[in-house]
Structure 1
Amino acid sequence: MVLSSQFLPRIGRFFLLPLLLLVACGKQQTLQGLFQKQTPHQAYARLLRQAGLDRRPAGRAWLDAAEQALRDSLVVILPLAETGYFRPERPTASSYRYAVRAGEQIHVSLTLAPGSAARVFIDAFEVVQAQAPRPLASADTLQLEFRYHAKEDGQHLLRVQPELLAAGRYTLRLRREPSLSVFPVLGRSDAAVGSFWGAERDRGARRHEGIDIFAPRGTPVVAAAGGYITRTGITPLGGRVVWLADTEHGAHLYYAHLDRQLVQPGQRVQPGDTLGLVGSTGNAQGTQPHLHFGIYRAGQGAVDPFPAVRRPDVRPDVPQGTDQRGEYVRLRSAGALGRRPGDKPAARAAQLSKQLPLLVLGRQGTALRVETPDGRTGYVSVAAVLPAGSQPLQRLALKTPVELLARPLAAAAALAALPGRTPVAVLGQDREFSLLRGPGGEVGWAVI
């Protein structure tokens, strides 16, 4: 676990020395003890605190950014493909909130741009009303891809945060997949579902507690997951039925209206093993042959099985166009940030002037994810901005020497110093501060 060092000369090597010593002197078993029952993010935060870096400005900012991301996330719709950018000079964390259905499997993957050596922490949480988000799954640079199973309908949140001083570009993808590895009817897909969860039955006296998958009589019905057969039999409603205990997900799978049953109670089965044949027995007599498929969970009863068997989302494409990550843009006319890509900002949203520089953090489709000088993030349309670098507000020569600051605040850290008469480009304005770019590409805030 080694922190990026390419920016140490600029920020100060002394800042990370306690942490580097702590990591270097620990033996393998010591690190394993630190990491036990912790996510990679939690273990890293613990090392920061043990090294005393939580009392330094950058270390405190990194921990605060992690907490802030859990309280203030951008709302997205799956599937998602977004390009992003890590800022070395200011610790940040990106967070995305999305809706899930019980039975879905969420596939998370993050790809670093070639040449990037940053360590990145990815954490998925369940959003719980009036409580802290509940951890679900996590990863770091050693494995920037994972899948997890949504057990209930609700809202989930994904946090992406790099280590201190990390810089670079990345691509994040989020998409839904079925949690059951095999579709219950051989050779069919969710396109064969003809009756869905909740449809009326017996003139509204009851609701459909499953889905009906239509196929020719005699089509093999297969195990959608591994487990063992708990029951077979004949019932008035289901006709010939098979119950399968799904040992991976802790659920019971129900197969009904079978023409024949080909398994026995107590039998172990693997995904794809044949359990029976499609038919129309029970109260399905006289109807087109189909399988009634249901899922039952302890404490919940029947749940909608469709999210567990629906086809996966198509792998989302990476946004096309000029890569503006890490660059500044300005609005063509005064506007506001959107909470979602393509959203129109609320009527009372704080207006941003067209002189205000916005740092591009990422892109999703035709929307840019940007950050204001005071740290607010949101989305603006690609068509609504112009590049501040190639279209500065003005070009001038400095009348007096200035220090370029990391933020538009008098107490902000200095990044560089420019002597008088230096030619600069003014990329934007925030109150009395100007965002300047020097002849060597150095960028920072100053009052001129």
Structure 2
Amino acid sequence: MLLPRLRTLPAALFVLFLTACSQSQTLQGIFQQSTPHEAYARKLKLAGLAETALGRDWLRAADQALRDSLVVKLPFQESGFFPADRAVATGLRYLVRTGETIQISLTLAPGTQAPKVFVDAFELSPDRSEPRHLAAADTAALSFRYVAEADRQHVLRVQPELLRGGRYTLRIRREPSLSFPVKGKTDVAVGSFWGVPRDGGARRHEGIDIFAQRGTPAIASAHGYITRVNETKLGGRVVWLADTDHGQHLYYAHLDKQLVQPGQRVKPGDTLGLVGNTGNARTTAPHLHFGVYRNGAVDPFPFVRRPDAMPPVPKVLPSRLGQWVRARETRLTLRRTPTATGVAAGAATRPTPLLVLGATAEWLRVQLPTGRTGFVPAKAVLTATPLRRENLPLPTDLRARPAADALTVAALPAQTTVAVLGEYGKFRLVRQANGRTGWLAVAAS
């Protein structure tokens, strides 16, 4: 008889019950490594809460965030909102290049009660059916970095624990994983890039050329040790550095002088040699040919490019977050990317209420009644003012979603006056006099 009672537990008791369950662990939980999100989901299941309406909604939202993730370009910044009265999760997909460091931070707004927030990064691969987990965090000061091991699509999922809400700022940006290999220079000095034809198209450029005055120090980009110091026909005077930080080899070519010996230990910033134009670069201006080898050559530019500058702060006022809005026009297309040409993620008619969950510079991330999300132009929606007011003829349940099996958030007696904010299918979104919102079946209203 426990589960039926849990299905109607008030929110406060639900949290207390879950907290009590978290104090005990099974032997499997002690020895099994899992992410904080997986550990929390396991506690829900062990406590029987995964069978309640709220628990099912939380697990469903987590899966949907990965399956229906939206697409963003880096760098990305969003002001976001977690509603406390319903289970939500955000899924954002972005492209990474081998060697980039991805830096992710989530900062809670001042005055927000610190909930536990689960932030997880995944890699998508065509040869795997399930996303591969990369990194995770679950504290109030959420920030972590990881290095991309391949050119892939990654997905970031952000989800708060049950019944906790608040506002936050999410930032995702790229940083270099290596120090720049020429002293005093940045990626602006790169004059020839990966893949450029060489020798009349007989081969491709397997590195980048960084131009600098003759004698400029070429410096170690990572901790490691020198494996080779020699001279070749193409590279001239070269130095090979085994990068022990990342398990790869770094190649410095066309040096005027070599200033290290094989076996020598080095750290970032140590001088390995001086920029020149030896080898097949005698007819060009002095430069360093820099290469990265990981089971073959890879493009070095993502390893050393400058950190992303963050985009502008969203112009949308924080008060817009968490609001219900409706389309200005008869029909509104939700986009998978915050661009006018983005692939459609869904559509809404004028009566359909949309919940604002995030804001970028000119776009809102909104949620359809189905739980799917998408981006819409901020100017394309209006605040969902009441369409009309109604008195309920019969007692009825106010639900968290437009579904018969959704969590009941309140039991409304007959003759309760509600404001109708929107309509979707056989349900209406209503607001009580106390400000609580929820869904009613059409027959009930």
Length-normalised TM-score, structure 2: 0.91
Residues 1:209 and 2:206 aligned together: yes
Percent sequence identity is 60
1:407 to partner: Cα distance: 2.3
Alpha-carbon spacing, 1:225–1:60, altered in 2? closer, same or farther (3 Å): same
**Post-superposition CA distance 1:377-402 (Å, at most 9, x none):** 111111100001xx322345556655
Residues 1:437 and 2:436 aligned together: no
Following the alignment from structure 1 to structure 2, what is the Cα–Cα distance between the partners of residues 140 and 36? 18
**Residue pairs, 1:115-130, within 5 angstroms:** 115-129=112-126, 130=128
Following the alignment from structure 1 to structure 2, what is the Cα–Cα distance between the partners of residues 351 and 101? 32
Alpha-carbon spacing, 1:109–1:9, altered in 2? closer, same or farther (3 Å): farther
Bigger drift between 182-191 and 434-443 goes to 434-443
1:18 to partner: Cα distance: 4.5
In structure 1, give the amino acid aligned to 2:335: G
Alpha-carbon spacing, 1:363–1:34, altered in 2? closer, same or farther (3 Å): farther
Q: Corresponding residue for 1:157?
A: 155
Q: Corresponding residue for 2:350?
A: 354
Bigger drift between 203-212 and 371-380 goes to 371-380
1:55 to partner: Cα distance: 2.4
Question: Pick from 268, 271, 288: which aligns with 1:271?
Answer: 268
Q: Corresponding residue for 1:387?
A: 383
**Residue pairs, 1:143-222, within 5 angstroms:** 143-180=141-178, 182-222=179-219
**Residue pairs, 1:211-250, within 5 angstroms:** 211-250=208-247
**Post-superposition CA distance 1:313-363 (Å, at most 9, x none):** 00233312222111100001112211111234658x754210111011111
SS at match of 2:201: coil
Residues 1:84 and 2:80 aligned together: yes
Following the alignment from structure 2 to structure 1, what is the Cα–Cα distance between the partners of residues 304 and 224? 17
Q: Structure 2: 5+ residue runs without aligned partners?
A: 1-6
Q: Structure 1: 5+ residue runs without aligned partners?
A: 1-7
Alpha-carbon spacing, 1:359–1:238, altered in 2? closer, same or farther (3 Å): same
Q: Corresponding residue for 2:302?
A: 307
Alpha-carbon spacing, 1:248–1:218, altered in 2? closer, same or farther (3 Å): same
Q: Corresponding residue for 1:404?
A: 398
Following the alignment from structure 1 to structure 2, what is the Cα–Cα distance between the partners of residues 199 and 426? 62
In structure 2, give the amino acid aligned to 1:394: R
SS at match of 2:284: coil
1:52 to partner: Cα distance: 2.1
1:248 to partner: Cα distance: 0.6
1:16 to partner: Cα distance: 4.2
Q: Corresponding residue for 1:291?
A: 288
Residues 1:61 and 2:57 aligned together: yes
In structure 1, give the amino acid aligned to 2:50: D
Q: Corresponding residue for 2:278?
A: 281
Alpha-carbon spacing, 1:397–1:16, altered in 2? closer, same or farther (3 Å): closer
Is the 8 Å Cα contact of residues 173 and 316 (structure 1) preserved in structure 2? no
In structure 2, give the amino acid aligned to 1:312: P
Q: Corresponding residue for 2:248?
A: 251
In structure 2, give the amino acid aligned to 1:138: A
Alpha-carbon spacing, 1:147–1:407, altered in 2? closer, same or farther (3 Å): same
Alpha-carbon spacing, 1:262–1:441, altered in 2? closer, same or farther (3 Å): same
Is the 8 Å Cα contact of residues 18 and 52 (structure 1) preserved in structure 2? no
Alpha-carbon spacing, 1:418–1:39, altered in 2? closer, same or farther (3 Å): closer
Alpha-carbon spacing, 1:127–1:410, altered in 2? closer, same or farther (3 Å): closer
1:63 to partner: Cα distance: 2.1
Question: Pick from 47, 50, 56: which aligns with 1:51?
Answer: 47
Bigger drift between 152-161 and 55-64 goes to 55-64
Following the alignment from structure 1 to structure 2, what is the Cα–Cα distance between the partners of residues 345 and 212? 36
In structure 2, give the amino acid aligned to 1:107: Q
Q: Corresponding residue for 1:371?
A: 367
Alpha-carbon spacing, 1:216–1:35, altered in 2? closer, same or farther (3 Å): farther
Bigger drift between 125-134 and 94-103 goes to 125-134
Following the alignment from structure 1 to structure 2, what is the Cα–Cα distance between the partners of residues 278 and 32? 57
SS at match of 1:131: coil
Is the 8 Å Cα contact of residues 118 and 136 (structure 2) preserved in structure 1? yes
Is the 8 Å Cα contact of residues 326 and 361 (structure 1) preserved in structure 2? yes
Alpha-carbon spacing, 1:83–1:53, altered in 2? closer, same or farther (3 Å): same
In structure 2, give the amino acid aligned to 1:11: P
In structure 1, give the amino acid aligned to 2:151: D
Following the alignment from structure 2 to structure 1, what is the Cα–Cα distance between the partners of residues 238 and 374? 52
Following the alignment from structure 1 to structure 2, what is the Cα–Cα distance between the partners of residues 307 and 412? 46
SS at match of 2:154: strand
What is the aligned length? Answer: 432
In structure 2, give the amino acid aligned to 1:392: P
Following the alignment from structure 2 to structure 1, what is the Cα–Cα distance between the partners of residues 279 and 404? 78
Length-normalised TM-score, structure 1: 0.90
Following the alignment from structure 1 to structure 2, what is the Cα–Cα distance between the partners of residues 48 and 134? 23
SS at match of 1:335: strand
Is the 8 Å Cα contact of residues 292 and 298 (structure 2) preserved in structure 1? yes
Following the alignment from structure 2 to structure 1, what is the Cα–Cα distance between the partners of residues 305 and 142? 25
SS at match of 1:254: strand
In structure 1, give the amino acid aligned to 2:18: L
What's the C-alpha RMSD, in Å, of the aligned pairs? 2.3
